[in-house]
Amino acid sequence: MIQDYFRSDLSDFKSYKVSKNDYKVRMDANECFSNLPQEIRMKIAWAIEECIFNRYPDAGASMVCELYAQYSNVKSINVMAGNGSDECIQIIANTFLNTGDKVAVQSPDFSMYGLYTRVAGGIPIEIPLGDEFKLDVDGFISIVNKEKVKIVFLSNPNNPTGGIIKRDDIIKIIEGCSCIVVIDEAYFEFYGETIVDKICAYENLIVLRTCSKIGLAAIRLGFLITSPILMGELKKVKPPYNVNAISQCIACVILKDSEIIYKNVERILLERKYLWQKLSNINGIKLYNAQANFILIGVENAQIMKQRLLDAGINIRSFTAITLQNCLRITIGSREENQCLINNISQENIGNI
Ligand code: PMP
């Protein structure tokens, strides 16, 4: 049977479900709500016209890494580009995990850490967050060391909670955990705090970043930032040519003019403030700390609310995990989208749930 050739340890895997994207209001995937302005798209079109299509792209995306290094105040030798930061997560798992090695993650946190751990033959250990999705830092460190974990993955700000771990605690984790510590700063721009300045101070630290949340989800570009010692190992596993020439070309246009990114972030932050205020006026909704480009809310019946919104053409993120029962994650939208959402979660609706 052909199934005899399949990996038995992947038999219970489900392929990553992406919801259909034909809703009028898409507030489910933590993307930036607006497309690039037309004049920038024209600039990109001209840049693509110059692309060399018959040759493989720059294998290490060196120009992109150089520009991203400037953007994030590090040296380019510390930066590796990936086909989305998803690929960076996979490269990390594949580089350091032997079969049966343990990886510590918070629960809840970004699901791909556990998935790529398992694909690499590792074992994810989920450490539940406490009240208000707070991390017990000392407890976390002690489990990591007791279990002889090889890698820790933490998103900061956390997806999906929107909460953060303060700098002192991040440092405590890096210093206290006897393993590689990956701090995923996918939502850094909406929080403003980073640990990237410490990559050379701690040889076990890797920082992840992405362009997906700041207006470039389509081009699939993420970054891994670390010290030369870990970088050398990671480079053994990185596929050559993993960032295609078109994405490299587009990223260069944008990163040469980072004002475009700052403007996107500024508008998202303004809308986050607006949406937060409007949601906080509605009875029956619990708001969690929102330091990213989304707001996690708690409601009495998430499934009913999600369906009502879908019926109105608004897609937001619901969850199956027990820890997120009756939570919904709302990506910050444009003013019109936010208003549309608010109108549909009116006081009367909440009363009926
Ligand atoms: N890390 C976190 C915490 C995320 O939320 C996401 C995207 N949802 C990613 C990484 C992956 O981002 P990318 O689009 O760069 O693969």
Pocket test for ligand 1, best of 86, 242, 291 (most atoms within 8 A of CB): 86
Residue where the block lists tokens 């609310």 = 305
Residue 71 has pLDDT above 80, yes or no: yes
Q: How many Cα atoms sit within 13 Å of 267 on the Cβ side? A: 17
pLDDT of res. 21: 74
Domain covering 38-257 assigned CATH 3.30.300.170 in the classification: no
Residue 338 has pLDDT above 90, yes or no: yes
Q: What is the mean pLDDT of the chain?
A: 96
pTM above 0.75, yes or no: yes
Q: In 3-state terms, what secondary structure has residue 328?
A: strand
Q: Ligand 1: which residue has its CA nearest to atom 12? A: 85
Residue 238 has pLDDT above 60, yes or no: yes
Pocket test for ligand 1, best of 106, 116, 159, 329 (most atoms within 8 A of CB): 159
pLDDT of res. 317: 96
The band of 19, judged by pLDDT with boundaries at 50, 70 and 90, is confident
Please compute Rg for the chain using Cα positions.
21
- Spatial neighbors of 145 by CB under 8 A, at least 6 apart, are 176, 177, 178
What does the buried/exposed string (b/e) look like for 47-67 if buried means 16 or more CB atoms within 10 Å of the residue's CB? Answer: eeeeeeeeeebeebbebbbbb
pLDDT digits (tens, 9 = 90+) for 73-84: 999 999 999 999
What is the residue-wise DSSP string for 258-282? THHHHHHHHHHHHHHHHHHHHHHTS
Q: Is the CB of 30 under 6 A from ligand 1?
A: yes
In the chain, helix, strand, coil percent, each to 5?
45, 15, 40
- Percent of the chain residues topping a pLDDT of 70: 98
Residue 66 has pLDDT above 90, yes or no: yes
Looking at domain 18-35+259-346, what is its CATH homologous superfamily?
Answer: Aspartate Aminotransferase, domain 1 (3.90.1150.10)
pLDDT of res. 349: 54
Q: Is the CB of 57 under 6 A from ligand 1?
A: no
Q: Where are the domains of the chain?
A: 18-35+259-346, 38-257
Q: In 3-state terms, what secondary structure has residue 97?
A: coil
pLDDT digits (tens, 9 = 90+) for 268-281: 999 999 999 999 99
User: Is 225:184 a contact under the CB 8 Å cutoff?
Assistant: no
pLDDT digits (tens, 9 = 90+) for 185-222: 999 999 999 999 999 999 999 999 999 999 999 999 99
Pocket test for ligand 1, best of 17, 90, 165, 212 (most atoms within 8 A of CB): 212
pLDDT digits (tens, 9 = 90+) for 128-143: 999 999 999 999 999 9
Distance (Å, whole) CA 145 – CA 325: 30
User: Is 324:108 a contact under the CB 8 Å cutoff?
Assistant: yes
Residue 347 has pLDDT above 90, yes or no: no
pLDDT of res. 348: 52
Distance (Å, whole) CA 88 – CA 335: 33
pLDDT of res. 18: 77
Q: Is the CB of 85 under 6 A from ligand 1?
A: yes
Q: Is the CB of 264 under 6 A from ligand 1?
A: no
User: Is 208:185 a contact under the CB 8 Å cutoff?
Assistant: yes
